[in-house]
Amino acid sequence: MPEGRGASLRFRCSTQPKTGTMAHGADQASGGGPGRSIVLGESFRRFMLRPESTALAAVVILFVVFTILSPQLFPTKLTYISIMAVAAELGIMSIGITLLMIGGHFDLSIGAVLGLTSYVAVVLMRDFGLSPIVAAPAAVIAGAALGFLNGIIVVRFRIHSFVVTLGTMLIWRGVLIALTGGFPMTVDIPPLFKDVMAGPLIFGFRMSMVWFFGIGLLGTFLLTRTRFGNWIQACGQNPQAARNLGVPVDRVTVILFMIASALGALSGIVQVARFSSVDALRGEGMELQAVAVTVIGGTLLSGGYGSVVGTVLGAITFGMIQVGLVLAGAPGHFFRTLTGLIVVLAVILNTDVARRLARSRPLAGFRRSSAAADAAILGEAQPGRDGVEPGVIAESGEAFRDEKTP
């Protein structure tokens, strides 16, 4: 066999054993089919490298723990409805923060933006008599404008987004307190608009859950199936290299700030429809909760890596903590304590453990093309089909290749 990293040779059962043949032989002896345990093991390893694996583990573990602590109260439909109500309102704005953090930036003003745009919607409906169909989009546009301002300051003056949005957070919060006078403002919401934004749905779940999952699907598509999604990840990994390759880094940054603030405003509209009011402290602290949800969902604080699906699971995790602790009769301060603990553990898993797995070799020492591995995990190919000959250790249409590993 030719030497060198580029040399490759299909590995057949009839050849002499090399790296990984013992595992293959064990598969044949067990009658499980060629390479089945290798494919399953490699699929698990690859799943653990995905950002949403930590959030999924958190959801499963918390569900088991709270079910044990409150077996009569937690595993019920009413509990699931409460969890999704909490997760939806926080998750909508967290999706915007996720895209922004993958792009390498923070937005600490998102909670204040939520409160200020909620005030805009209430004033337009109460004082100007506008329909919610007009007031709600106007509030979202106002939120996007606030995000545009954040983005322009960041890219124009090259100031870290953490500092910029910390300042705008204080500004918008102060403006909201001044406008409301520190008192709640109520408004009559038409029943139809209330039902569309946050009303009861089938089985008692709220419409906010539909908005949450819908935006999650759109965010996932944007991040994984569009050129703009590639630009987001490139900007987060190495903005200078992305700029050298022709990526409009500044434009992407401004758009990400606008998306984050617009989704924060949408979350505020959901809350206005639900409570028919706004107050000076609306959205306070939610910026840190959104960052926590994003981190639990697998997004790295350094940027360039993350998952909208992970954020959806992170929001559900957050809802489970909040509702589960109440049902378990835990003291109020346990909520923040447990949330902080999960955030720290998520960061550890997403950095140290993921780094170790990334350095690990594929099972049995084989390398394979990404397309072949992905297809194998989905179980799309069988020996004798899709160009795979019987007796070849295959991952869906592509045989494992025995290459020299460093």
Residue 62 contacts residue 321 (beta carbons within 8 Å): yes
pLDDT level of residue 133 (50, 70, 90 thresholds): very high
Indicate whether 68 pLDDT > 70: yes
What local confidence, expressed as pLDDT, does residue 397 receive? 33
Residues 94 and 125 in one domain: yes
Neighbours of 176 (CB within 10 A): 26
267-287 tens-digit pLDDT: 999 999 999 999 999 999 999
Q: Report, as an integer, the average pLDDT of 66-90.
A: 93
Task: Answer whether residue 366 is part of any domain.
Answer: no
The pLDDT confidence band at residue 354, using thresholds 50, 70 and 90, is low
**pLDDT at residue 338 greater than cutoff 70:** yes
Residue 356 confidence (pLDDT): 65
| Local confidence band at 36 (pLDDT 50, 70, 90 cut-offs) | confident
- What's the rounded mean pLDDT across residues 352-377? 56
DSSP lists the bridge partners of residue 10 as 401
Q: Is the pLDDT of residue 395 over 50?
A: no
Q: Return d(Cα 306, Cα 94) in angstroms, integer.
A: 12
Q: Answer for the pair 371, 384: CB distance below 8 angstroms, yes or no.
A: no
Residues 331 and 351 in one domain: yes
Mean pLDDT is lowest, of 171-175, 329-333, 348-352, for 348-352
Whether 87 and 22 map to the same domain: the answer is no
- Is the distance from CB of 83 to CB of 323 less than 8 angstroms? yes
358, 376, 396 - which closes a domain:
358
How far the first Cα of the chain sits from its last, in Å, is 17
Q: Looking at the structure, tell me whether residues 235 and 120 fall in a common domain.
A: yes
Most confidently modeled range among 1-5, 22-26, 235-239, 333-337: 235-239
Together in a domain, 42 and 71: no
pLDDT at 257 over 80: yes
Confidence band for 353, pLDDT divided at 50, 70 and 90? low
Same domain flag for 162 and 201: yes
Q: How sure is the predictor about 199, in pLDDT bands with cuts at 50, 70 and 90?
A: confident
Question: Does residue 30 register a pLDDT over 70?
Answer: no
Answer whether residue 136 is part of any domain. Answer: yes
Question: What proportion of the chain, given as a percentage, has pLDDT over 70?
Answer: 78
204: pLDDT strictly greater than 90 = no
| Same domain assignment for residues 133 and 253 | yes
* Residue bearing the bigger pLDDT, 343 or 168: 168
The domain of 15 spans 1-48+385-406
Residue 314: the pLDDT is 93
Structure confidence by residue, pLDDT tens digits, 366-392: 454 455 545 544 544 444 444 333 333
Phi/psi-derived region of residue 391, left when phi > 0, alpha when psi is between -120 and 50, beta in every other case: left
Q: Is residue 373 part of a domain?
A: no
Quote the percentage of the chain above a pLDDT of 90: 60
Query: How many structural domains comprise the chain?
Result: 2
With contact defined as beta carbons under 8 Å apart, do 83 and 303 qualify? no
Residues 78, 125: Cα–Cα separation, whole Å: 32
Going from the C-alpha of 389 to that of each of 45, 67, 378, 401, the distances in angstroms are: 26, 48, 19, 14
Q: Are residues 140 and 273 in the same domain?
A: yes
Mean pLDDT of the chain: 81
174 and 31 within one domain: no
Nearest to 150 by CA among 94, 100, 204, 224: 100
Q: What is the pLDDT of residue 361?
A: 65
Res 31 pLDDT > 60:
no
List the single range of 135-139, 214-218, 354-358 with lowest mean pLDDT: 354-358
How far is 225 from 261, CA to CA, in rounded Å? 23
What pLDDT, on the 0 to 100 scale, is given for residue 350? Answer: 72
pLDDT at 331: 84
In a domain, 219, yes or no: yes
Confidence at residue 39, expressed as pLDDT on a 0 to 100 scale: 73
Looking at residue 140, which CATH number applies to its domain?
Answer: 1.10.3470
Q: What is the pLDDT of residue 357?
A: 60
Residues 89 and 217 placed together within one structural domain of the fold: yes
pLDDT at 29: 43
pLDDT-based confidence at residue 358 (cuts at 50, 70, 90)? low
9 pLDDT above the threshold of 70: no
Query: What is the spatial distance between Cα 247 and Cα 227, in angstroms, rounded to a whole number?
Result: 10
Q: Is the pLDDT of residue 402 over 60?
A: no
Indicate if the pLDDT at residue 233 is higher than 70. yes
Q: Read off the pTM.
A: 0.79
